[in-house]
Structure 1
């Protein structure tokens, strides 16, 4: 992507949801052997990249970055260089499923607890009848199970691998096994399977339009307050950061 803007040294493409889906659709259609890693970038990952060189390498080598966190969108806006829109992991997954239903893509779901994993798979199968959920596994596995899961994904060869382990755990796992997964596209989607399964409520549309989804989540999940503390720190550091050309 040539049209990019940097946030704390990380180039983020100026693309819309429609652009993103077009890129992913092309990758699935071309069926290349190389895995295409999509990262939905948020302030936590961006901050961690400043001191975690391995994570920074993962982000640099990703096939596509999207601006997930509202903090990233707001910083660009305050700098007078706005992004066209926010492309969140949850919204992107829904759009991917809609596109997959039209084109008969296959998926593997990895993450969430066992009841949520089962429910998410059932909801997807019912809501998108042309989508094939080839396999799934909950996100609480040990090293032995991890190896078995990777072997299963490799054998099933899904068009899309959805990893709901939270960031940056999802990004690390995808990167670690990128040469073994045998999928077309892999994406970390945070808690999106919880939302699809109905375990966690998504903020109403009017909250989303006001960019207040973070507050809705905090009200409904007070335990998230520690994570939210990073937002003001991120905003200050990002605004003061001297980007190199």
Structure 2
């Protein structure tokens, strides 16, 4: 399957002199961004996202303010953002949004002069960050999934990145009245990056409710079903399907009972939103609570 050249062409990347300059742009709310489907996403490459995460962990003072948390834009989040006020409120508290969906990338290339440079799938970004993190001596905490899935994910990550420190793990099936204790345990371990894999909107809700309890943490990144992939329970679509924006179809074939209703509710709605609410670019990020 061959895509039109307008969709295949990789747009120019906004350059930063180094990771410190990238962090300074983040701290000053000056990262380049584009509204896609009504949500503002950062126009960064996977490599730039990884460098930004490392720079935040290195440069941001710990203990003085809550850590920033980051999430991702895809068809599901675009649809739910517009349908559910509670989800909208959570996403407005994010420190930044990566574009994890080829449909959003394609829409930006069709409708904007400054599109997203590439898809930033969390399942790929995790490995980019892990490679940087083990070289920089940074640490991870894995939060989410079942006990077995979380443990398997940690084992596989440790095998892939033997110099990476995983300070702890915790499953995602805890009650609301246990949440404070979970957050306190994470903060005591002071990881640089917490990967929160509990699904939308629970993972965003955890980040918003517990940022004040996690001041020794560098940053949090919501991760959807990441741990299932890290644990080897799910496989990625073939590269050609990823490039064509058909990974959702591959996943639907693997998990029809779980995903059919979700895709039926969100795909057409998000496609309409992508075509009607994409294209406004800015170099200034909307105010969030990330620096307070």
The TM-score, its normalising length taken from structure 1, stands at 0.92
Aligned counterparts, 1:69-84, within 5 A: 69-81=101-113, 82-84=115-117
Among candidates 181, 189, 192, match of residue 148 of structure 1 = 181
Among candidates 194, 200, 221, match of residue 234 of structure 2 = 200
Shift of 1:209: 2.4
In the alignment, the residues of structure 2 paired with residue 243 and residue 99 of structure 1 have an alpha-carbon distance, to the nearest angstrom, of 32
Question: What is the number of residues matched between the two proteins?
Answer: 245
Among candidates 22, 26, 32, match of residue 51 of structure 2 = 22
Among candidates 68, 73, 77, match of residue 36 of structure 1 = 68
Among candidates 156, 163, 175, match of residue 208 of structure 2 = 175
Q: Which residue of 2 aligns with 1:186?
A: 220
- SS in structure 1 of the partner of residue 40 of structure 2: strand
The TM-score, its normalising length taken from structure 2, stands at 0.78
Cα distance change of structure 1 residues 234 and 26 upon mapping to structure 2, 3 Å threshold: same
Aligned counterparts, 1:1-245, within 5 A: 1-33=30-62, 34-81=66-113, 82-181=115-214, 182-223=216-257, 224-229=259-264, 230-241=266-277
In the alignment, the residues of structure 1 paired with residue 165 and residue 76 of structure 2 have an alpha-carbon distance, to the nearest angstrom, of 32
Between 192-201 and 10-19, report the one with greater CA deviation: 10-19
In the alignment, the residues of structure 2 paired with residue 239 and residue 95 of structure 1 have an alpha-carbon distance, to the nearest angstrom, of 30
In the alignment, the residues of structure 1 paired with residue 89 and residue 82 of structure 2 have an alpha-carbon distance, to the nearest angstrom, of 11
In the alignment, the residues of structure 1 paired with residue 269 and residue 85 of structure 2 have an alpha-carbon distance, to the nearest angstrom, of 20
User: Residues 67 and 86 of structure 1 are in contact (CA less than 8 Å); yes or no, is this contact kept in structure 2?
Assistant: yes
Between 46-55 and 214-223, report the one with greater CA deviation: 46-55
